[in-house]
Amino acid sequence: MTNNPPIKLNQLLGLLPVEAYKRLTPHLKKVVYKTGTVLYEPNEVMEFAYFPNTAMISVVSIMEDGSTTEIGLIGNEGMVGLPIILGGKQTTSQVIVQVPGEAWKLSAHILLQEFEQSPQLQRIFLLYTQARLTQISQSAACNRQHKIEERLARWLMSVHDCVQVDEIPLTQEFVANMLGVRRSGVTIAANSLQQSGMIAYRRGRITLLDYDALKKTSCECYQLVQDEYIRLLGFRRG
């Protein structure tokens, strides 16, 4: 498959210095993933990093009883593979494709080599790491402090930022697993959003109808994370 250099699809790659970008381009492989593709299992050594273009990738914590909670959501604003540059090489979480689409795949060796020789690239990736830490820590606080309806509105907007489409293939069971709540709670919250005209739900697909109303319904966590991405990297998620 011919690898055409990514231009604007992945925002993190778009920030790289020209020379570093040119060195990486020959090693970037375009891949297309289906929903449910597992990129990494817990404690698996990361041999590749992924830069989503249109795919949405989740970092998921799995408990001993099999219950799951999403602890990271990655779209075209970022990358999968921070343990590569941080030195840990693996994560205790599962990394899975939640919405199908394209991504760029890069060897861990090449990424680490460039990270070590380019101070500008290193700075960009460390700023992205801080942005991701903000997202994760704010999600933890959100899960403890805010109502399911607020959290659902926040999460749907975040998903929309990742995939940039209004109709998203999501089942209520899947959303419940990602939010770490009972399906009945998601059903009540989704029905409320639907009755208010913010979303439409049918046959495993959620369509966002009123983005402004969703934002008003959401807790403050959504905007806080967006503001931090803008402050650190100069762009918003999505």
3-state DSSP assignment of residue 130: helix
Domains within the chain, CATH numbers bracketed? 11-132 (2.60.120.10), 147-218 (1.10.10.10)
Check residue 28 and give its pLDDT.
Answer: 95
Q: Please tell me the distance from the alpha carbon of residue 69 to that of residue 227, in angstroms, as a whole number.
A: 24
Give the residue, 214 or 3, on which the prediction is more confident.
214
3-state secondary structure at position 8: coil
Give the model's confidence band at 238: pLDDT under 50 very low, under 70 low, under 90 confident, else very high: low
Alpha carbon separation from 117 to 14, 24, 111, 120, 233 (Å, rounded)? 18, 12, 10, 9, 21
Distance (Å, rounded) from C-alpha 192 to C-alpha 186? 10
Predicted local confidence at residue 1, as pLDDT? 37
Q: What is the pTM of this model?
A: 0.86
- Give residue-wise pLDDT tens across range 67-93: 888 888 899 999 999 999 999 999 999
Question: Which one has a higher pLDDT value, 152 or 50?
Answer: 50
Is the predicted pLDDT of residue 206 greater than 50, yes or no? yes
Q: What percent of the chain has pLDDT over 70?
A: 96
Q: How confident is the model at residue 163 (pLDDT cuts 50, 70, 90)?
A: confident
The predicted structure's pLDDT at residue 119: 92
Q: Which of 159, 158, 151, 202 lies closest to 179 in space, CA to CA?
A: 151
